[in-house]
Amino acid sequence: MFALFKLNYHNQFSAAFPDTETLHHAKRLWLEALLSFAPQDIMQGAKRAILQSEYLPTVHKMLQLCAAGENGLPEARAAYREACNAPSPKTNHKWSHPVVYHAGRESNWHFLANNPESIAYPVFAEHYRKLCARVLEGEKLSAPEPLKLEEKPGTPLSKEENAQKMAALRAELGI
C-alpha cells in the first residue's frame, strides 16, 4: 500500500513522510488502524484512493475506503451522481447500495433536482456520511420497495358515467 502511495502521490508522500523514522511510525499507526481488514481489502482501498482522489489519503479516509469495499458503499461523489441521475420513481431504480437511496430521500429528491451541485452536494454528503457510519456500525438499511402496477385495473367508465363524474366535478368546483 505504501509503495502504491509513494508511486502515485510522490511529492505529497515525501512531504508527509520525510524520513525513515516518520515512515515507520506511520506504518505502525496504519497497521493498527487497518488490522481488522484483510490484505486484499486494504489493497482495494488503496486502489480506490488512487482512483478517487488526487491527494494522499488519511488513516480515516483509508478506513472508509477499505470498509466501502467490504460493504459495497460507493464514494460520496459517485453516490451523489447516482442519486441525482436516478429516474423516477426512485424506488424502482436499481441502486448500487440502499444507503444511496436513503441519503437521497433524506436530502429531499426535489431539493437535489432543483439546486446546483455547490448547494445540494454538501447536504447530500452529510446525510450520506451519517448513513454510511450507521452501516459501518452494522445497521442494515433495507432496499426501497419497488412500486408495482395494479394487478386488476378498474374497468373503464361508460360515456354516461364519465359525463356524470364530470358534472359532479364541475358542481364541486363551481364551474
Q: What's the rounded Cα separation, in Å, for the pair 14 and 136?
A: 32
Cα distances (angstroms) measured from residue 35 to each of 31, 56, 59, 81, 133? 6, 20, 12, 32, 19
Grid cell digits, residue 47: 486502489
Domain that holds residue 21: 2-71
Would residue 143 count as lying in a domain? no
The model's confidence at residue 69, banded by pLDDT at 50, 70 and 90, is low
Cα distances (angstroms) measured from residue 131 to each of 39, 65, 115, 139, 141? 26, 15, 22, 9, 9
Would residue 43 count as lying in a domain? yes
Grid cell digits, residue 118: 455547490
- Residue 123 shares a structural domain with residue 93: yes
Whether residue 67 is predicted with pLDDT greater than 80 in this model: the reply is: no
Domain end among 136, 152, 169: 136
- Residue 8 shares a structural domain with residue 67: yes
- Per-residue pLDDT, 71: 64
Q: How many domains does the chain have?
A: 2
Q: What is the mean pLDDT of residues 85-113?
A: 94
| 5-46 residue pLDDT tens | 999 999 999 999 999 999 999 999 999 988 877 788 788 889
Would residue 64 count as lying in a domain? yes
- Residue 99 shares a structural domain with residue 42: no
User: Which residues 6+ apart lie within 8 Å of 88 measured at CB?
Assistant: 109
Residue type, 168: A
pTM (whole model) above 0.85: no
Whether residue 70 is predicted with pLDDT greater than 70 in this model: the reply is: no
- Residue 127 shares a structural domain with residue 87: yes
Q: What's the rounded Cα separation, in Å, for the pair 63 and 30?
A: 9
Would residue 156 count as lying in a domain? no
